[in-house]
Structure 1
């Protein structure tokens, strides 16, 4: 493997620190999806756990180490899913958890963070402003700041998904991974390239939040002034250089998809797989819809990374009125 911050031996060891409830999530071929997509599609279902996303694999590593070291408090910025995961993992280990989020984040995600006994602070801005505020709290209170994708635990926790994919049978030709800050893509990509190097690693990001994809293409950090996407979980503006370096070593491609394709992907997953997913989790299906010829005749795995969606917004995207428009 080329040099990255990630280590496969350490990722194998990480499985022992993660609550088994988050491991070995369902992986199955979903034949009902295939007529509309023109390829064999397997789904890795990371919503089948108490926080309905993959993020707890990483927060389990963070909070295990903090509790073992005697720490009592931790703070993070979150678009919603990391905050829920950190609150869940921290509560189980007696940690005081603070989550900073945008007040414009989906209400369902914010309500769940509160329900998990975390202190929630809202900012009048986007995720990257929340990152700044969380860093300020960490400095002022002298507590651990968890930075998604920068902290190696968040990447190597996500990478345990890669171990499960690499050990699957039958094998597959490509894995489609939602790309935001990069923890999921770098983690899974690292393990896949190490253990199944013939598998194509394709990262997928909304065209309305393209910063990491543009950075990957130009091999340097590219920032954007704003984001405009319903996929709030991947809507960052400021890529992290160290994470980009890791991504450059493992991603075969990074593609951008349109909002209409994301919504169409959510509908397909609902209608043909019975899955209620948030927009970020439909990015892989969106990528197939936009480039059927690329995937024709291949076996593709898509990681359904989160299912924390605002019910009212979901109905607008997938309900009868939306389908008629």
Structure 2
């Protein structure tokens, strides 16, 4: 494999600075899901931690470096999960954290950012506007701008999930990864392709937020004008060129799924796995639902990456979803 920006030795070293509460997350075969999906399914559960997503693996690495920095301050743009993670990691190290988010972001995520002690600034636009505002704050205040997926620490922190997969999982032949900014996909993908190259790495995005998938398919950055998906955690419009370069090296495929399939996947994870997940965490199940023949007979690992949901919206989604009887 050609070299990505990531380094396997640094990824192993990252485990030493990440709080153990975020490491060695549950990994198990979920047989109850299998009759409805037609394949063996294992779940890597990245929600059983204080911020209910995988993001703190990366922010722990960032914060460990910032703790030795003179300014001891950072700002990020976030749809919610990165902001919570940076606030949690910063609080534990005495850092001053500012998070910029869209005022239309999930309220539960915004409330949790505030509760963790970060300064929260809201913008009237989408995530791309939040990114611009965060960059302006960083320039004006002379502090660290934490950019998810562009900053290698966020990718290599997420990549520790890949180490846990290849070190502990029984034989599996496919890993399904939610694709947003790309930190999770490039991080896990790098480790899998380095240490278990025979495993197929498939990335999944919603049809309503397809920028990085289109970019991967066309091998160039494709920017979209808008997004339209309930999966706010993966709803980017402007892929980072360096992230695309990495993704082209580690992803075997990138697929788009419909909103109805995402919701059906959330319902299946609730009914058959007892898991309340946010839409981005159901993308892997959605991909299987839309192409059962492709995955028939395989052992698939799907990374359940977040469970920060708006309760009212969640109830509406799962109550409207079709019931998949096993």
TM-score range, shorter chain: over 0.9
Number of the residue aligned with 2:151: 151
Number of the residue aligned with 1:309: 309
> How large is the Cα RMSD of the aligned pairs?
0.9
Moved over 6 A (4+): none
Give 3-state SS (helix, strand or coil) of 1:90's partner. helix
Please give the per-residue CA displacement for 1:262-291, whole angstroms capped at 9, x wherever unaligned. Answer: 000000000000000000000000000000
Please give the per-residue CA displacement for 1:58-105, whole angstroms capped at 9, x wherever unaligned. Answer: 000001000023332100000000000000000000011000000000
Q: Is the 8 A contact 2:22 2:56 kept in 1?
A: yes
Number of the residue aligned with 2:259: 259
Number of the residue aligned with 2:89: 89
Give 3-state SS (helix, strand or coil) of 1:16's partner. coil
For residues 289-300 of structure 1, what are the structure 2 equivalents within 5 Å?
289-300=289-300
Aligned residues: 323
Q: Is the 8 A contact 2:263 2:321 kept in 1?
A: no
Question: 1:21: Cα distance to partner?
Answer: 0.4
For residues 1-12 of structure 1, what are the structure 2 equivalents within 5 Å?
1-12=1-12
Question: 1:323: Cα distance to partner?
Answer: 5.0
Number of the residue aligned with 1:272: 272
Whole-angstrom CA distance in 2 between matches of 1:155 and 1:280:
17
Please give the per-residue CA displacement for 1:192-233, whole angstroms capped at 9, x wherever unaligned. Answer: 000000000000000000000000000000000000000000
Q: Which runs of 5+ in 1 are unaligned?
A: none
With normalisation by structure 1, the TM-score equals 0.98
Q: Is the 8 A contact 2:278 2:306 kept in 1?
A: yes
Q: Which runs of 5+ in 2 are unaligned?
A: none
With normalisation by structure 2, the TM-score equals 0.98
Whole-angstrom CA distance in 1 between matches of 2:203 and 2:71:
35
The answer to whether structure 1 residue 186 and structure 2 residue 182 are counterparts is: no
Whole-angstrom CA distance in 2 between matches of 1:126 and 1:70:
32
Give 3-state SS (helix, strand or coil) of 1:59's partner. helix
